């Protein structure tokens, strides 16, 4: 997880790249959960969305070690 990714000559932290990928995954997932009515059973939507982002970030980070060509890993 230590290192940078070169994007067009700009070095960005790998955690930032993984966070953007997580955001891209969570937006459609949140839309689907909203359409299915899952948020009716959730006490605090903001905390639920935050925990969803943390879980997805952990999944993206774990996948980056298994598939280094898909996700940038130094």
Q: Which residues contact 22 (CB under 8 A, 6 or more apart)?
A: 53, 56, 57, 60
In the prediction, which pLDDT does 67 show?
66
In the prediction, which pLDDT does 2 show?
60
In the prediction, which pLDDT does 33 show?
96
Q: What is the pTM of this model?
A: 0.79
SS3 16: helix
Residues of the chain with pLDDT under 50: 1
Q: Which residues pair with 4 in a beta bridge?
A: 13
CA 54 – CA 46 distance, rounded (Å): 12
Residue with tokens 């970030």: 57
In the prediction, which pLDDT does 45 show?
94
In the prediction, which pLDDT does 53 show?
96
* Closest-CA residue to 57 (of 23, 12, 34): 23
């Amino acid at each position: 997880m230590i290192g940078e990714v070169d994007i067009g000559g700009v070095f960005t932290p790998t955690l930032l790249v993984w966070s953007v990928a997580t955001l891209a995954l969570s937006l459609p997932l949140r839309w689907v959960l909203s359409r299915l009515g899952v948020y009716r059973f959730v006490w605090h939507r903001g905390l639920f969305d935050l925990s969803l982002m943390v879980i997805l970030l952990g999944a993206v980070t774990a996948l980056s070690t298994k598939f280094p060509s898909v996700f940038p890993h130094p």
